[in-house]
Structure formats: structure tokens, C-alpha cells
Structure 1
Amino acid sequence: MRVKEVFAQAERINFGALPPEIDDLLQQGVAAYRHDRATADRLFRQALSQNPSELAPYYCLYKIHTYMGSLDVAAEVATAGLKEAVRQAAWSEDPREWPDGNLDSDGPGRFALYTLKALSFIELRRGNRETALEFLDILSKKDPTGSVGWTVVGELANGLV
């Protein structure tokens, strides 16, 4: 393997087991984000439209829009990703009805918890503190050890950070 190929492999983000064409679009989007956010958005949306059951494109989209301050778009995409994750996990759309306790370290259930954490952060940034606190309260019951990192958002919400 040539040095360039080794370097290219080392820079790839591990999105998990994805169809190669979806992974390629996401990798291109990550690289594009550094210099062309519109192209990154287009590539992530293309990946999502090609396979709306893959969760990684939702993550990429809501993450970049949160970073860019496009919080309405971030909330919309995160909500859609959350809906797809709970469908795959065969859970209720009401997060208060999700199973309590720690889940597998991978899969749609974990994605749902992580995305609810992301939504709590997005809502906090949008000035919807009560909604953020409601999501954080749910996360405290569904992920009591804070494995998806919701405790950091909780500290932000309570002005501790």
C-alpha cells in the first residue's frame, strides 16, 4: 500500500457497517465540511436520500448544522433521525416509554439516546431550556450512567460549565 493510501485510510471516519456507496458519500462530506459546507450538506443529504434507513447520515447532518448554528435544521434532522432509530429499535416514539437502563454500545437504541442528547443540546442553544431539561430528565432514567454524554449537556443547562 502506498503512503497516500495509508494516509487516506487513517483519515476515514468509522461510521460502522455501511454500504460502501453511503460510506463514501459520508467520507466525502466530512472532507468537504472543512472548506465547503454547502457541498458537505449536499453529500450528507444525498447519502440520506439513497438510504433513509441508515442512521449515520442523520448524525452527520444534524452535527454540521449544529456546528454552523443552523439550529432549526439541526433539530429537524435530529428529530427525523430519532424517529428512524426508534422505528428500528421497535420502541415507542415517546422516549418516556423507552426501556430503562444501559443499552448495547451500538445499534439504533444507542443512536436514539445519543440523538435525544443532541436534541437536548440543540434545544438549549435555541433557548428552549424547559424542553432541554425534559429531555435530560428522560435521559437520566434511560441512561443512568451517562454513557451517551448527556451529563455534560445537563451541566450546561444548569450553568455549571
Structure 2
Amino acid sequence: MNIFTGVESSELFGGQVPPPVQRLIDSARSGTPDEAGAALWTAVLTFPRCLPPYYLLYKFHASRGEMDAAHEVARKALAAAALQAHLAADWRAVQPGDADFSTPGPARFWLFTLKALAFINVRRGERAAALALVVKLRALDPADRIGFGVVEALLAQS
């Protein structure tokens, strides 16, 4: 998936981004790292219901080794997606029948972000937090369609 270009983004997020958000994403893609970060933060803060910029922003910070910032953005993304998917604000309260996590849209994005949060916690050295997230992912996605097995493998190595 190339969220910067929008290719296949609908598979995860359930649709294209509004033109003003796409312009900010394009700006992030063509700018310096500082400009990219500023453009993505602008997108998240200006369009808080638009989910793709959250993904880009937590990936941006994670790729730079800024795990605390990535964690902050992933938590914001989880909250925004939970609100849109009508899920509990506390991820621990979400149950398998609360949403259809297999179809594109906010619930699937929420599940994907839960996986990202687990990965970020591994990278932050917060093994117990990552493990708790993986346990929840296993309950919500027993077939592992979202790919949490990668995080599980990282936990097994440490």
C-alpha cells in the first residue's frame, strides 16, 4: 500500500482523502523531513476525522525513531477511529462483535492502528503493553488478517 499516492488506500481506510488533505500529503511527500512533519501534523489537526494522515504521521515518526511521538499520534488515531466506528474509547473494552473489522473503514483502521500501537510499544521497550495489545488483537482478529503475527514474532525474539 502506498498511502502517500493513495494507491490501494481504500483497502484499509475505506475511501480517498479530501482534496485539501491530499494537498498536505503531497506537500509532505515532496518536502524536507521537517516540512513533511509539519504538513502531516497540519493535516491531523485541521482534519481530525480524516484517518489516513494519522497513519502517515505515526509512520513518519516511527521511521525517524521518534517512538514517543509515534505513540502519541497512534493513540490519537485510535481515538478518532473508535469514535467513527462507534467503538469503546478504551480499546480493552472492545469485543469481537462490536464492529466488522474485515471491511474497509474506521473499524478496520482502528484494528490496524491497534497493531501499530503494539509495534510501537515493542520499539519503546514496553513489552507488557505490547503483549496486552497482541492478546486483544488475537481476540478481535483470530485469523490474523491484519498481520499482528509480525508483532508477536518480535515479542518472541525479545
TM-score range, shorter chain: 0.7 to 0.9
- Match runs of 1:90-105 below 5 Å: 90-100=86-96, 103-105=101-103
Q: Are the structure 2 counterparts of residues 30 and 105 from structure 1 closer, same or farther at C-alpha, using a change threshold of 3 Å?
A: farther
Q: Who is 1:8 aligned against?
A: none
1:156 equivalent to 2:154? Answer: yes
TM-score by length of 2: 0.86
**Structure with larger Rg:** 1
1:88 and 1:104 map into 2 onto residues whose CA distance is 16
* Sequence identity (%): 36
Letter in structure 2 aligned against 1:22: V
Displacement after TM superposition at 1:117 (Å): 0.5
Verify the 8 A CA contact 1:13 1:27 in the aligned structure 2. no
Q: 1:140 pairs with 138, 143, 147, which one?
A: 138
Q: How many residues align?
A: 147
2 CA distance for matches of 1:63 and 1:45? 12
Distance 1:125 1:150 in 2: 15
Q: Where does structure 1 differ by over 6 angstroms across 4 or more consecutive aligned residues?
A: none
Out of 53, 62, 65, the position equivalent to 1:66 is: 62
1:75 aligns with 71
The gaps in structure 2 that reach 5 residues or longer are 10-14
Q: In angstroms, what is the RMSD of aligned CA positions?
A: 1.7
Q: Secondary structure at the match of 2:125?
A: coil
Mapped to 2, the partners of 1:58 and 1:119 lie a distance apart of 12
Q: Could you tell me which amino acid in structure 1 is paired with residue 104 of structure 2?
A: D
Larger relative contact order (Cα-Cα within 8 Å, sequence gap ≥ 6): 2
In the alignment, what sits opposite 1:12?
5
Residue type matched to 2:5 in 1?
R
Which amino acid in the other structure matches residue 112 of structure 1?
W
Q: Which residue of 2 aligns with 1:4?
A: none
Structure 1: where are the runs of 5+ without partners?
1-10
Per the normalisation by structure 1, the TM-score is 0.84
Equivalents in 2 of 1:131, 1:48: separation in Å?
A: 25
